[in-house]
Amino acid sequence: MTEKIYCSVDIGGSKILLLLINGKGRVLFKKKTSTPKPEEPSAIVATIESLLKDAAATGNNEAFRKPSGLGVAIAGFVDHRAD
């Protein structure tokens, strides 16, 4: 049975960090790059896509190419009074 691998992406104002981790929380791949300027959604998506391709190229099994899950964290303001 192939080990399940999960992807985590942290999108910040100055950097984007992508991790691949196993079910026990062990980091199998880590890569950080600058957040594109201006922070256009399409540029951010393209950057994440590039990081995912880098991760897939380093893995020696299918799980690196098809993670079992993905979590994305992004900073932003929340108006808790808005409906």
Domains belonging to the chain, first-starting first, are 5-74 (3.30.420.40)
Is a pLDDT exceeding 90 seen at residue 75?
A: no
More confident call, 56 vs 39: 56
Query: For 4, which DSSP code?
Result: P
pTM: 0.83
The torsion angle over the Cα atoms of residues 7, 9, 41 and 50, rounded to 10 degrees, is -60
pLDDT tens digits for range 60-72: 777 788 889 999 9
Distance of CA 52 to the CA centre of its chain: 7
pLDDT tens digits for range 20-41: 999 999 999 999 999 998 878 8
Residue 82 tokens read as 């808005």
Q: Percentage of residues in the chain with pLDDT exceeding 70?
A: 98
Instruction: State residue 40's pLDDT score.
Output: 84
